[in-house]
Amino acid sequence: MEAATLRFGSICSPNQTKESQFSQKRLKSRLSCPPNYLIQKNNLNSNQISTVKPSRLDWRVGKSKCSSLEPKNTSGDANFGKDPRRKKLAIFVSGGGSNFRSIHEASIQGLVNGNVAVLVTDKPGCGGAVYARNSGIPIIVFPKSKLIPDGLLTEELLTVLRNFEIDFVLLAGFLKLIPVELVQAYPKSILNIHPSLLPAFGGKGFYGLKVHKAVIASGARYSGPTVHFVDEHYDTGRTLAQRVVPVLANDTPEDLAARVLHEEHQVYVETVAALCEDRIVWREDGVPLIRSRTNPDELS
């Protein structure tokens, strides 16, 4: 299913002021949604999108669900599905979005008790955005810039995320610094994955192959991905999970990147699954830990 950008020029309520109509159209014109759905009233909430035609995906803003792609319990968890409300996820990408795809596929397979409700990107032509369009996932362009004048402002992004009733924000290769306002609006609810063992080789400018080049040049014998909570700075939030891979003597940055990426796809899905199942616990010193799904006394 291919997502399409909605046009809102003729659907503002007649009792809106011109200023209000302009504000609503400005915000709505930058939200991509699956086809056959129209915003009918002033605000973007779950009661204001109606189905024009039956669709394989039964979408509601903030209450998206898959009617014919019902999640399957492939995890062997006896408690799977007992929580009737699947968490709503907003995923931010700037590139190919392979971690985004892994999380979305895990959601469909029932490995993650959550739905990808919306994709946020600063590069609407990137691979992650293409995948979202083909999957019928709404797309938001953020932030506004000279190159993308139709991007949302921070306050507009927060409004849309609230109307989608987003529970958790997941960064999957999003290269922009997250605004303080977003961090404050979602405390302990924003995760990022970084392709090194933080705090090493993290911070502004460390992304993609730059990370792996630096790791190899340092002589480090091990590397691997880190899943961490997001704060107001690059890569400084509390570490939640890591995986370790060897750095081989003849590795190129591409070799190491492929080895780390394989682990990223696994550890991010496992961590998001724990987040959606409320299995994150916080130690007294502020360190987050993951409670085992099968043994509640086991923390990692």
Residue 236 makes CB contacts below 8 A (sequence gap 6+) with 199, 202, 203
Active centre residues (catalytic): 194
Q: Is 51 helix (H, G, I), strand (E, B) or coil?
A: strand
Q: In what order do the strands lie in the sheet with 139-141?
A: 4-5, 31-33, 139-141, 114-121, 87-93, 168-171, 190-194, 226-229, 239-242
Tell me if 3 sits within 8 A of 139, measured CB to CB. yes
Q: Is 283 helix (H, G, I), strand (E, B) or coil?
A: coil
User: Within 10 Å of residue 17's Cβ, how many Cβ atoms?
Assistant: 9
CA 2 and chain centroid, separation: 19
Q: Is 122 helix (H, G, I), strand (E, B) or coil?
A: coil
Burial class (CB in 10 A: 0-12, 13-18, 19+), 261: middle
